[in-house]
Amino acid sequence: MKKPWAGRFAQKTSGAVESFTESISFDRKLWKHDIAGSIAHAKMLAKQRIITAKESAAIIAGLSATAEAISSGKFRFSPELEDIHMNIESSLTERIGEPGRKLHTARSRNDQVALDLRLYLREQMQDIISLIRKLQKMFMMIAERHQDTVMPGYTHLQRAQPVLLAHHLLAYVEMFQRDRERFRDCMQRTDTCPLGSCALAGTSLPTDRAYTAKLLGFSKISGNSIDAVSDRDFALEFLSCAAIAMMHLSRLAEELILWSTEEFRFLEISDRFTTGSSIMPQKKNPDVAELMRGKTGRVYGNLMALLTLMKGLPLAYNRDMQEDKLPVFDSAETLTGCLSVLLEMLKEVKFNTARLRETAAGGYATATDIAEYLVRKGIPFRSAHEITGRIVLYCISRNIPLTGLSLQELRTFSAALTEDILEILDPVSSVKARSSFGGTSPSEVKRQLRHYRNLLK
């Protein structure tokens, strides 16, 4: 098959080289974006009278027919033509003849692929932002149902203080809000049209880059043609956003895994989202959450792969950059897949509220309440901390909870402890007292819910 650049070469390309350099096996994913860019380019060429209106119409009709063939599965992708750009252009020329050979006027595959990748990521990020918003709303819905469910809060995976389950769940809403904001910020820098930069130096032909950008829905055009074809910052930023979002999903997955164990028994994952063992009949394994946790490492690797790919490249385009697409495609599909399955799985998670309340009462979780009680009585916090620590040690040595202490026993540690101390040792009272802004008290959780409802409208 004749190459589009064959004029310069006296020998045919080695078959081994064709196999080694082809990208059509993966960049065919960009066909819709490539055709959209080509249609806009053809319209611009006609507007600027670089080609005739008749030629532009023939090109657009040919590209539409090619799109239909690809969509219906009737198109044959050829590795000999290397990439999606040349496969589509070759098909166009076969369909409409000479006008098809004019489409590549005033552009290069260098600016073409930069455009396609931006169009692809713009579309992917819109979907991801929408999925994250749905996930936030899912957490909100579950939190609404558990505004009265007390559970143990943890630091260092050790019981720390009682909190509301709703408060714990809203922490993820806050996390995912940052993810949405990061992707929206990334969208702004992806929203730049590089088409018309050509190979690296622009063109001597009277093109209208702003018109092409407008047709494709871009708000701005790239300012430097060398940077336009060699920039992959937007892809790196996307991979960074994806890696951080996957980190959040992985932390959530870890809690789902831990909380579903017999040791915790805080929740149960539906049978529909778990698997069994090939040898142990009793097992119910949280494989979906475990895979989510595992896939996070792959998304991290994709970010590192592209950073490493770009770090030593001179300006402008280099063939190394063909390798930018696989990490981007994989991360976009992995994150989208994880968000989609998580949305379905969370619908059927059941929380063991009795177990959560029971566990919240253990582990001396209201010790901080004693220390803060003493502070309100005028005792310096460090002294209050030490007094409370001695109370806890006393309880540990006798294997009794804080609520098992009598007022007489408590007063042996400090005369500032009076009868009202007994009220604050209950986890429910502890939670109600945490009314500082952003805290876990019922009133604050209600305020947070109102805030996020407004944010997600």
- The Cα 163–Cα 436 span in angstroms is 13
Inter-CA distances, 259 with 10, 95, 217, Å: 67, 60, 46
- Six token digits for residue 140: 């909100």
Nearest to 51 by CA among 64, 38, 33: 38
- The Cα 434–Cα 260 span in angstroms is 28
Look at the alpha carbons of 160, 163, 168, 169 in this order and tell me if their dihedral is positive or negative.
positive
Q: Which residue has the tokens 């929203």?
A: 191
Count the Cβ atoms, other than its own, within 10 Å of residue 25. Answer: 12
Helix (H, G, I), strand (E, B) or coil at 64: helix
- The Cα 357–Cα 187 span in angstroms is 43
- The Cα 193–Cα 195 span in angstroms is 6
DSSP 312: T
Contact partners, residue 228, CB within 8 Å, separation at least 6: 111, 114, 194, 197, 222
**Annotated catalytic residue 219:** no
Catalytic-role residue among 72, 156, 204, 397? 156
Count the Cβ atoms, other than its own, within 10 Å of residue 71. Answer: 11
- The Cα 284–Cα 320 span in angstroms is 45
Helix (H, G, I), strand (E, B) or coil at 161: strand
- The Cα 16–Cα 98 span in angstroms is 31
Nearest to 238 by CA among 291, 186, 299: 186
Helix (H, G, I), strand (E, B) or coil at 350: strand
**Annotated catalytic residue 278:** no
Catalytic-role residue among 19, 64, 130, 277? 277
- The Cα 186–Cα 392 span in angstroms is 50
What residues are annotated to the active site?
A: 156, 277
